[in-house]
Structure 1
Amino acid sequence: MTALRVFEGRQQQPLREWLTLTGRKRVLVVVHTVPYGKRLQEVFCLLESDLRVQVVFTAPPHPFSDGVARLIERLGGAVLPWEVAVRMEFDLALAAGPRGVEQIRAPLIMLPHGANFLKRVTEGAVTRVAGLGRQDLTPGGRGLPAAVVLPHRDDLAGLAYSCPEALPVATVVGDPVHDRMVASLPRRGAYRRALGLGKGEKLIAVVSTWGSRSSFGAIEALLPRLLELVRRNRKVAVLVHPNVWSGHGAWQVRAWLAQCVRRGIAVVPPEADWRSVLIAADTIIGDHGSVTLYGTLTGVPILLAASPEQEINPASPAAALARTAPALSPAHSLASQLTYVAAEYHRHHREEYGAIAARITSEPGRFSRNMRRLLYGLLGLGQPAHPAPTRPLPLPPPLASWSAASGERYGYGPDTGTGVSA
């Protein structure tokens, strides 16, 4: 990891003799967790090629911070230790979570780290929508951020209810994951080939958010049913939220899923880009998390393994999906239920899923344009004289490579003696 050297004086500044380009606008990217970092990557990449701006990174303490250092290292980012970053001043800061940001000395842009504001949390006798409350936007008594980024104009109503004083700094910008997935849908065939899917093979994506009411929270019941799915013409990929990996440890998650790996089921690592896998899927088994909601963009059937009403924001598209998608039944085989949901999707649900997907953003295809305008406005700089791009997603590695990596690191891999195609 690269570190900017600093003076030890009261006013911390980069040591100029160690820098080649000086006098730049300085943007601090606050990376609490891997999901937050991935979301912020869609923002700070809009500063690419601008020689007027220096981007630096910091990682505040967080219970789910596993993998953050590796993520920043892969980016090649210049890193400031948290205790140094909070003593310095910046021209702008970006964050997708509230922990510790009251210590940051910079105009702050607060972004959601997932699709819309899907979840609600209960603290004592109070239930609130995660991401829109005063605790999220003015943590530790900090003043209002310079900007609160919203994906949909409907989110303004939720903000007006939970933190109305933030409305003047709220900006409806859009959703970067939505835009990149939509831009990538025409490449579905290329993603399937890159993943190693042959003609006629079906891919089932099993996705889970984190928490006791998630799909993974019921893994004891779901695991044997996943093994039932493995056939020569069918492949399965499991995408588990990075907070599960961080909370339980990568070794433990892979150990719990070892039998899946031996049978040729791909366990997608937390650092991987799940979006191309979702686009390549023929069916999605999911829950109330963001990834399942983004699955409505792909035009494939969705089966809900979990959709806890008490954790879902009733005004969100996740609630609409919970009312629309079929729910997994313990009384019937998983294979038969997948056949049923495919038939129901083509008969009834295609248009309903499209309407739900349309609620992810009210600025479809315009996130990059809107976000870049916001960034440069707060930096006090003119925008570059070229369009802000929305790039298709890169090709993923083969599914088999993830199973092989598990075997090399943890001593198990696909069971070649089962006759099951990996």
Structure 2
Amino acid sequence: MATQSWIRGPMGLGAERRITRCGARRVLVMVPTMTAGNRLLDLLPVLDGDHRVQVVFTVPREDDTTWHGVDRFVAGLGGLVVPWGQAVRHEWDAVLGASHRGIAQVHGKLLLLPHGVGAVKSRRHSRKGGQVSRETTGVDRELLTYRGRLLPAALAIPTVAEMGLLRRRCPEAVGVSFLSGDVCFDSLRAGVEFRDRYRSALGVESGEELVLVSSTWSPNSLFGRCPTLYDRLLAELSGTGTKVATVLHPNIWAVHGEWQIRSWLAGAVAGGLLVVPPERGWQAATVAADAVVGDHGSTTTYAAALGKRVCLATWPEGHLRPESPAAALRRAVPLLDLDRSLRDQLAHVPPVAASRVVRTVSGVPGGAHARFRKVLYRLLDLPEPAWPAATPIPLSPRVS
């Protein structure tokens, strides 16, 4: 990969001769994946309207590698993007991260939050670990420290139960942790009152139902195991006044490529499938849905926490921790029998008793943005703005 040119931005030597707003605190936003980027976009509105803060984006790279599509995604945000090589050679007033990738290399007070449901993850073992025997979580000492140095200055823990696990897996991080809630879940809840707008954007008319098919990534996911499920649903629901949409984890798009995904889904799209792109719309589509068919991924869990009618098309038996958010999801929703009529089963799926899932998603429903803002401004050594911390609503979906 060719070396990227450094950016003449509001930091570094000579910055005082370039800037228009003087004295702003500089915040670096690390976007190693689209998933992490989307989560940080749920958080960044806590800085809206504050002229004392300058936000800069970067794409972390490991051995000059990154995920396909991430550079385009970050560029599309319209923010100032600095090359990774420049970002790690500057001292930032605060750094925002929703992934462990690259956090040992940056300089600045790091606020670290999860990029999906829960801080401790649902899988028993890391995808990077290969054939390992020891279970891993998202709050292990190996992830949160580097050569004896604690990496985050502030660590967001969504629930009280996860605080207990942190005490066991990395007790030195307890002092910088805070009960954060979940910014994504709060945005989803805030978007409920705009549900009709989202349904209209998806082309769902009054009296129609919307079934959303949600898949995380990996061979154990819905898309990995049941790629023809879309065609079956479209065929069985034809003529019932039901539209079918799908949300695929961004890593599916990143690993296989947009062209290939659309090629694989071409027949289903011709039959009416609505495909929500990875960079925007999955939250609004989740709010808009009447029923969700999913797997163990975060989108399915959030749908259950909203009290949607949710069922599972597949389940990775033995791969998930019993106390995880995904395990709570499995206890709360039914598993489809793929050898029987999907239409008949969907007709009898009840709304989820949301409280059973919410407690594994957020310890302070509705309070995440206020808590994050308080911590972030403490790191920036600035008083909080006079206006209340707003909870952003999801952007209306685009489909193809």
Give the TM-score normalised by the residue count of structure 1.
0.86
* 5+ long unaligned stretches in structure 1: 404-422
What are the equivalent positions in structure 2 for 1:41-52 lying under 5 Å apart? 41-52=41-52
Residue equivalent to 2:174: 167
Q: What's the CA shift for 1:2?
A: 11
Mapped partners of 1:92, 1:361: distance in 2: 24
What are the equivalent positions in structure 2 for 1:205-354 lying under 5 Å apart? 205-232=212-239, 233-341=241-349, 345=350, 350-351=352-353, 353-354=354-355
Question: How many residue pairs align between the two structures?
Answer: 389
Residue equivalent to 1:29: 29
Opposite residue 109 of structure 2, the aligned amino acid is: P
Three-state SS of the structure 2 residue aligned to 1:106 is: strand
Residue equivalent to 1:368: 369
**Do the aligned residues in 1 keep the contact of 2:234 with 2:268 (CA within 8 Å)?**
yes
**Do the aligned residues in 2 keep the contact of 1:58 with 1:81 (CA within 8 Å)?**
yes
Give the TM-score normalised by the residue count of structure 2.
0.91
**Do the aligned residues in 1 keep the contact of 2:212 with 2:291 (CA within 8 Å)?**
yes
Match of 2:8 among 5, 8, 25: 5
Match of 1:120 among 124, 145, 156: 124
Q: Residue 311 and residue 140 in structure 1: after superposition, are their counterparts in 2 closer, same or farther (change >3 A)?
A: farther
**Do the aligned residues in 2 keep the contact of 1:101 with 1:139 (CA within 8 Å)?**
no
Residue equivalent to 1:381: 382
What are the equivalent positions in structure 2 for 1:91-130 lying under 5 Å apart? 91-116=93-118, 117-122=121-126, 123=129, 124-130=131-137
Mapped partners of 1:37, 1:263: distance in 2: 32
Q: Residue 273 and residue 152 in structure 1: after superposition, are their counterparts in 2 closer, same or farther (change >3 A)?
A: same
Q: What's the CA shift for 1:12?
A: 4.4
Match of 2:158 among 133, 139, 151: 151
**Do the aligned residues in 2 keep the contact of 1:236 with 1:266 (CA within 8 Å)?**
yes
Q: Residue 138 and residue 224 in structure 1: after superposition, are their counterparts in 2 closer, same or farther (change >3 A)?
A: same
For residues 146-176 of structure 1, what are the alpha-carbon distances to aligned partners after superposition, in whole Å with 9 as ceiling and x for unaligned? 0111111111112122222211111111111
Q: CA RMSD in A?
A: 2.3
Q: Residue 224 and residue 76 in structure 1: after superposition, are their counterparts in 2 closer, same or farther (change >3 A)?
A: closer
Q: Residue 32 and residue 141 in structure 1: after superposition, are their counterparts in 2 closer, same or farther (change >3 A)?
A: farther
Three-state SS of the structure 2 residue aligned to 1:377 is: helix
For residues 227-255 of structure 1, what are the alpha-carbon distances to aligned partners after superposition, in whole Å with 9 as ceiling and x for unaligned? 42442411100110000000111111111
For residues 179-205 of structure 1, what are the alpha-carbon distances to aligned partners after superposition, in whole Å with 9 as ceiling and x for unaligned? 111122122223222322112211100
**Do the aligned residues in 2 keep the contact of 1:36 with 1:97 (CA within 8 Å)?**
yes
Structure 1 stretches of 4+ moved >6 Å: none
Counting helix residues as a fraction of each chain, which structure ranks higher? Answer: 1
Mapped partners of 1:282, 1:314: distance in 2: 28
Opposite residue 189 of structure 1, the aligned amino acid is: D
Residue equivalent to 1:393: 394
Opposite residue 70 of structure 1, the aligned amino acid is: R
**Do the aligned residues in 1 keep the contact of 2:104 with 2:151 (CA within 8 Å)?**
no
**Do the aligned residues in 2 keep the contact of 1:118 with 1:290 (CA within 8 Å)?**
no
Q: Residue 43 and residue 330 in structure 1: after superposition, are their counterparts in 2 closer, same or farther (change >3 A)?
A: closer
